[in-house]
Amino acid sequence: MHKKLFFILIVVLIGSSSLAFGMAAPEESSEQQETESKQASGPEFSTGPNNAITDVSGIEVGHYDKNYTGTTVILARGGAVGAVEVRGSAPGTRETDLLDPINLVDQVNAIVLSGGSAYGLAAADGVMLWLEEQGIGWPVGGGNLVPIVPSAILFDPGRFGREFSDRPTAEFGRKAAENLAEGPVDQGNVGAGAGAISGGMKGGIGTASIDLGNGVIVGAIAAINSGGSTIDPNTGLPYASFLEIGDEFGDLKETVAAKGTGEQIALAGSEPVKNTTIAVVATNVKLTKTQARKIAEMAHDGMARAIRPAHTMFDGDTVFVLGTGELSPEVLKQEAAWGYMPANINKIGSAAADTLSRAIVHGILNAQTVGEVKSYLDAYPNVK
């Protein structure tokens, strides 16, 4: 026993002496270190071709706005499994109970995001009638259809010089539906984001997407009307700018002149009880209602990451999720001891959170000053 301990001690001493005399293992090359760093951080993803929710096949977006208020429609032309998660304490919603996994309807035709506070829920009426004319909806017998159109609103009445009674109606929903299109999506002061204010600065509509490989796409669109700020007052940069893919946000840089002013802008310009960020996440993967609900829960983390604070007593923060069913989750090839499906849902949910964060950044970057309410780029002129 003593001989064995003695032998171990000699080996340790020899090893220490070798290090002391400069006999350490050769350093890795910079190329090796870069390769290992990339492996440690995981695969690099890209955006979809339009970096928009419309990169999910079958999803179309249409806006309509007038006099600094408006409506945005997200259409799943072939239908989609839907879910919703509400975490703000002042929501305004329609047809969300049917999205509960225990309830019958498992196909959504469109989601409506609108300004106008609770009055703006009327915009969904126009979308329903338009869909009925197109023969899109849930069959109820006798050749009749009922379009399934959940909706959420944000608070913007009375802003930018208009009367409180000047708000979206069914006509807004119909006109937004008539503007539905695939491809690039207009951002900023359009649709449901036309009258939005975020943390005292101009809010708006933003969208983004991510390509997870093997044909799997996750996209998001958000109308940002938050009580909290999207900007870090210590850097002048959006909180979620670190999630940038490629150079999608452009050449943003810290702006010394703006340091410490972001919080002051938010406090001076915030309007308690006049808030709410509403969003839709879509993927071309086949989901159950329960799986879609879990992804909606995870996507809210993206909102909390991009807006501080989020989910407050004065926000009605709501996230819808749509799964168009084009691909099986198996194509993601995720594996875990407890089953591939939970691992696949984890991956989609994580991507949904990051993509929603990025959509919020795009909404802020594309917003434009209205009157005394400055856009981010005007409030932080040195950031670009």
- pLDDT in the model for residue 262: 47
Average pLDDT over residues 50-77: 98
Sign of CA dihedral 246, 252, 253, 259: negative
The whole-angstrom separation of Cα 188 and Cα 207 is 10
Task: List the single range of 37-41, 106-110, 333-337 with lowest mean pLDDT.
Answer: 37-41
65-69, 335-339, 349-353, 358-362: segment of lowest average pLDDT: 335-339
Q: What is the pLDDT of residues 291-304, one digit of tens each?
A: 999 999 999 999 99
For the purposes of burial, counting CB atoms within 10 Å of the CB of 134, is it exposed (0-12), middle (13-18) or buried (19 or more)? middle
DSSP string, 371-384: TTB--HHHHSTT--
What band does 7 get if pLDDT is binned at 50, 70 and 90? very low
Confidence of residue 33 (pLDDT cuts 50, 70, 90): very low
* Fold exhibited by the domain 53-379: L-amino peptidase D-ALA esterase/amidase (3.60.70)
- In the chain, the largest separation of any two C-alpha atoms, in whole Å, equals 93
- Angle of helix 123-133 relative to helix 170-178, nearest 10 degrees? 50
Number of helical (H) and strand (E) elements in the chain, helices listed first: 8, 13
pLDDT of 112 above 90: yes
More confident: 261 or 218: 218
Report pTM. Answer: 0.86
Task: Please state the rounded mean pLDDT for residues 25-37.
Answer: 42
Give the model's pLDDT for residue 41: 35
User: What confidence score (pLDDT) does residue 45 get?
Assistant: 84
pLDDT surpassing 50 at residue 17: no
Residue given tokens 């197109």 in the structure block = 134
Tokens representing residue 299 in the block: 């996507």
Tell which wins on pLDDT, 194 or 15: 194
What six digits make up the tokens of 314? 């004065």
Sorted by where each begins, the domain ranges of the chain are: 2-38, 53-379
Query: How confident is residue 364, by pLDDT bands cut at 50, 70 and 90?
Result: very high
* Sole residue written with tokens 């695969």: 43
What integer pLDDT is reported at residue 43 of this predicted model?
52
For residue 93, give the 3-state DSSP assignment.
strand
Q: Residue 220 has what DSSP assignment?
A: E
- What pLDDT, in 10s, does the model give residues 168-214? 999 999 999 999 999 999 999 999 999 999 999 999 999 999 999 99
Minimum mean pLDDT range among 117-121, 161-165, 201-205, 251-255: 251-255
* Residue 181 vs residue 274, higher pLDDT: 181
Report pLDDT for 286.
Answer: 96
**pLDDT value of residue 203:** 97
- The pLDDT score that the predictor gives to residue 273 is 62
**pLDDT tier, 328 (very low <50, low <70, confident <90, very high otherwise):** confident
State mean pLDDT over 226-237.
Answer: 93
pLDDT at 322: 98
Give the pLDDT band of residue 330 (cuts 50, 70, 90): confident
pLDDT over threshold 70, residue 1: no
Is the pLDDT at 260 greater than 60, yes or no?
A: no
Phi, psi of 209 (to 5 degrees): -150, 165
Predicted pLDDT at 18: 40
2-22 average pLDDT score: 41
- Please give the pLDDT value at position 75: 98
pLDDT attached to residue 166: 95
pLDDT, greater one: 235 or 265: 235
User: What does pLDDT average to over the chain?
Assistant: 87
Residue 252's nearest CA partner among 232, 266, 280, 268 is 232
Spatial distance between the Cα atoms of 266 and 228, rounded to a whole number of angstroms: 7
The pLDDT value given to residue 337:
62
